[in-house]
């Protein structure tokens, strides 16, 4: 018989607060058209994107995260000292070590919270949320801060017609804490590494360091392949998350998919046969694709505008480079 005592965590976990930060600079499509041969109409029709936010030198990954996290902590009605874990999902923090989560945990004023970064691309928020849920139930933390943050303008090739218009910057954060009832459903997640070449960094950092390439690395993708995968495969994953939570599309109030492309969102809504009463996040129009930050930013905006309300049942799904994905059903804070 094991001598290890059982964990004394909460029976369930829930999102208690949400916060977001968008850089002050708003970049319309006209700016993108200065470096690619395209049109505003083409960009809008292919992606739905009208504007995006680009960070200034002062709006670092850490700075944006701290702003978003402060709002989430206040929204949750707790203090920073109560945060026992900080999980940051990002692909655009350019220091390999230490993790930016440690800086954020310190500057927020946590009491030496566990802190680490994860790299799961556009599914990173879902991965972080799942880890946070486990920490709450296991009892290793009472409250966990999950942050999705990107400065993708640093990894955008403004001469790449396929991607120059897609990416934006920003940070979204949620506080996850104990719950007396289920409020974060089972996560359906996975990876398809055989398709990893469809979204990738153009070259390794070492190639740039050694001078074998002159152009700074950027994110590139095979647009049509990614579109087909997202439309056909991710709708299946979304349905699996509904099934795992024991609900149907009729039970949903809100749908918050990764804000990659409005055509993908529309196709998923159609495939899932979501009822008209379901509010669909379309933050991509004015924020662009912010990878790991897109779901919490969209969640924050829906709640702030009143399009969604506390207690609503929401399906969230992220998908992207890897190819990785994560979907779950949550109760909104």
Known catalytic residue: 258?
A: yes
Known catalytic residue: 122?
A: yes
Question: How much helix, strand and coil, in percent to the nearest 5, is found in the chain?
Answer: 40, 25, 35
41-80 residues labelled b (16+ CB within 10 A) or e (exposed)? eebeebbbbbbbbbbeeebbbbbbbbbbbbbbbebbebeb
| Catalytic residue chosen out of the listed positions 29, 53, 122, 261 | 122
SS3 180: coil
Nearest Cα residue to 176 out of 8, 310, 6, 332: 332
Q: How many beta carbons lie within 10 A of that of residue 19, not counting itself?
A: 26
Known catalytic residue: 53?
A: no
Answer whether 115's CB lies under 8 Å from 86's CB.
Answer: yes
Q: How far apart are CA 229 and CA 69, in angstroms?
A: 32
Please identify every residue annotated as catalytic: 122, 258, 289
């Amino acid at each position: 018989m094991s001598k290890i005592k059982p964990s004394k965590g909460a029976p369930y976990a829930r999102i208690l607060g949400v916060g977001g930060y968008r850089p002050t600079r708003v970049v319309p499509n006209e700016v993108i058209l200065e470096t690619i041969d395209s049109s505003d109409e083409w960009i809008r029709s292919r992606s739905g994107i009208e504007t995006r936010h680009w960070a200034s030198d002062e709006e670092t990954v850490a700075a944006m995260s701290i702003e978003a996290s402060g709002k989430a902590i206040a929204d949750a009605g707790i203090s920073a000292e109560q945060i026992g874990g900080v999980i940051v999902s990002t692909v655009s923090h350019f220091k390999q070590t230490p993790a930016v989560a440690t800086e954020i945990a310190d500057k927020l004023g946590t009491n030496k919270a566990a802190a680490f970064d994860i790299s799961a691309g556009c599914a990173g928020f879902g991965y972080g949320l799942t880890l946070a849920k486990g920490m709450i139930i296991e009892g290793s933390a009472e409250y966990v801060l999950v942050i999705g943050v990107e400065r993708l303008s640093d990894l955008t090739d403004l001469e790449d017609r396929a991607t120059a218009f897609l990416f934006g910057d920003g940070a979204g954060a949620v506080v996850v804490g104990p719950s007396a009832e289920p409020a974060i459903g089972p996560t359906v997640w996975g990876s398809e590494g055989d398709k990893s070449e469809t979204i990738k960094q153009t070259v390794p950092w070492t190639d740039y360091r050694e001078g074998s390439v002159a152009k700074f690395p950027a994110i590139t993708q095979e647009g049509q392949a990614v579109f087909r995968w997202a439309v056909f495969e991710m709708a299946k994953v979304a349905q699996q998350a509904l099934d795992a939570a024991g609900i149907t599309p009729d039970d949903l109030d809100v749908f918050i998919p990764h804000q990659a492309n409005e055509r993908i969102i529309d196709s998923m809504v159609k495939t899932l046969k979501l009822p008209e009463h379901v509010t669909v996040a379309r933050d991509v129009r004015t924020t662009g694709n912010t990878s790991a930050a897109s779901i919490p930013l969209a969640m924050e905006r829906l709640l702030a505008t009143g399009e969604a309300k506390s207690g609503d049942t929401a399906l969230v799904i992220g998908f992207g480079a890897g190819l990785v994905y994560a979907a779950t059903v949550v109760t909104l804070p």
